[in-house]
Amino acid sequence: MIVSDIFKLLDKFSYCSIKDIFSVPTNQFKLIKLLDVNWDKFENLENDFQGCVLENGINTYFICKYKEKPFLLVNYIRKEDLYICHCTDVEIYEDLFMHKLLKYAVRWNKCSFSSNEDNLVDQIPI
């Protein structure tokens, strides 16, 4: 099934949390996992972002939407135990979603900078 065909089925999808989508065991979301996002706070305050899921026995499709516009599709192929990610709107994913996530990133926000002038090494989050 091609991406456009999957998007035609959006009315058959049920709600799932954004956290569930980005918690799937794939290596595609390494940065997001490193940020340790406070997903509960994100989902409570960023209502324009939604997650949905559709299972059909062979595949499970996860979709992230921004104001009802899909921007990310994660296709789980059960037979192969394989996750395939498709970014369908790079602007929304990179310019909106990733920037919003930084506001809720636990590791990013807990990075403290020393006020001691003897310590000239900047601390950066990892």
Q: Which residues pair with 55 in a beta bridge?
A: 60
**Could you give the 3-state DSSP secondary structure of residue 47?**
coil
Q: Give the model confidence (pLDDT) of 19-36 as tens digits.
A: 999 988 887 888 888 888
For 68, left (φ over 0), alpha (ψ -120 to 50), or beta? left
The span from the CA of 3 to the CA of 57, in Å, is: 18
Q: Give the model confidence (pLDDT) of 86-107 as tens digits.
A: 999 999 999 999 999 999 988 7
Q: Give the model confidence (pLDDT) of 67-88 as tens digits.
A: 999 999 999 999 999 999 999 9
122 DSSP assignment: P
Q: pTM of the prediction? A: 0.78
Alpha-helical regions (H) of the chain: 3-7, 18-22, 30-35, 39-45, 90, 98-103, 106-109
Average pLDDT in the chain: 83
Residue 117 has pLDDT above 80, yes or no: no
